[in-house]
Structure 1
């Protein structure tokens, strides 16, 4: 494991007790797949991070960040790794609306064992709801308590939690976007449904014509999941993973190998 923080590699991380990320979860992050020292979809991840930082008033220096990433990635020592970039407002005085002038930037690089990725996942619907108007729903912030609570709620009976929004429509899982495949149509919840618009999701949406599919972005009723030819979930590390069951009921298992092959082209 390599960890870079505020300009230097560190063995142990020491944080100011006024650090906003620690005290208030006031920060953002990106998790990026690395293959043979190359960060996959890096530009898209950094563009999303820049948009999020701007929306939340966090200082974001992309030039500085890219320099730090270069220093970290040259330490790559495994065929497959995961890169995490965390940016917080840093230490500040008291007050929710206060601005910080010393943001904390931390980058870590860890081995990632692809052999442990699941061939499929079981979902269970959580009682926790995604609020489409909440920043924590559509920005990738370090305030992940809803996802943690939902994952703990379904632990032991499913691999991940399915989260609905406050209107009862399908939103996402704790770590992934949700897609339905029905005939030649891909269906996924639209951006206003309380989802974090994922990078792998965007790649798939951009490639639907090449995949010979059409795309529907709209509210998705939970009942639609039971009648889909396939349900699958996506994120930047796992790519597309079939859902085998939801709340103990089997899902359609039409193969999605062509979708994964399309995503994996960027990894070669």
Structure 2
């Protein structure tokens, strides 16, 4: 496998990141995970915009332009013979780079940018989920960023696995359902589509935004509302969204069956058409 590191493509086994890199030592950085279809990174502009906004939030200057990063993604797909792959995953990681020991920011940071590209498996047809112990903290500055520290999410996913569930559902500090370990949540109540509000506890996902934009065009009312665990298990349907898997229905939460909602399939079909259109426009 080949990677793109700080402007050059190299074999993954030969690429070197400084042992003093703050991304490795402190989780001081951001990342984006993107779906590529037939050599095109889906919603690349939106992902790079989120990365730039996040970098601005943490006081980090992105050392490459969006055009340079877009070209890097395309070159890396070709270098890994993935330009014709129906599904590939691109992971772009940005760190503050190497620095002296301690927490203080380096006076002249030298950011590290790493991009990887691998084949992506088809999304699951459905998922089961379990509500887990780790909570999303709306007061944390990193809660709304695609930040490197993901230990809470890792532990949440492992707890779900121990409960024989495929995905973890995390509550916020007030006890409302926030999101999955790496996905946003939607539920159906009758003909209305609901998703937890963007008030600091969730990462506002790229696919989440696309679904909220698509819904009105299909005659579906979509709203942001607080969702309690009790409200979730009584829902008329539910699904998760992220950039790699798109929309995946939830079939069970904490062992309780969640009905399949036909409107989820309608949204999924519309989303697939949106992906096709986005690829043709690039």
TM range (shorter): over 0.9
Residue 53 of structure 2 corresponds to 51
Find 1:73's aligned residue among 71, 77, 85.
77
Residue 240 of structure 1 corresponds to 247
CA distance in 2, matches of 1:193, 1:88: 22
Residues 150/51 of structure 1: CA separation in 2 closer, same or farther (3 Å cut): same
CA contact (8 A) 1:188 1:220 kept: yes
Map 1:212-231 to 2 at 5 A.
212-231=219-238
CA contact (8 A) 1:2 1:110 kept: no
CA distance in 2, matches of 1:263, 1:183: 21
CA contact (8 A) 2:40 2:74 kept: no
Residue 8 of structure 2 corresponds to 8
Residue 119 of structure 2 corresponds to 111
| Secondary structure class of the residue paired with 1:209 | helix
Residue 30 of structure 2 corresponds to 28
Which ranges in structure 1 are unaligned for 5 or more consecutive residues? none
Give TM-score scaled by structure 2 length.
0.90
Aligned-residue offset at 1:101: 2.1
Aligned-residue offset at 1:193: 5.1
Residue 19 of structure 1 corresponds to 21
Q: Please list the CA deviations of residues 199-234 of structure 1 after superposition, one character each: whole Å capped at 9, or x if unmatched.
A: 000001112211211121122111111221101100
Aligned-residue offset at 1:95: 3.0
- 240-249 or 129-138: bigger deviation: 129-138
| Secondary structure class of the residue paired with 2:251 | strand
CA contact (8 A) 1:229 1:253 kept: yes
**In proportion to residue count, which structure has more strand?**
1
Residue 173 of structure 2 corresponds to 166
| Secondary structure class of the residue paired with 1:3 | strand
CA distance in 1, matches of 2:115, 2:189: 40
CA contact (8 A) 1:193 1:219 kept: no
CA distance in 2, matches of 1:98, 1:193: 25
Find 1:257's aligned residue among 258, 262, 265.
265
- 258-267 or 229-238: bigger deviation: 258-267
CA distance in 1, matches of 2:213, 2:160: 33
Runs of 4 or more, structure 1, over 3 Å off, are none
- 247-256 or 26-35: bigger deviation: 247-256
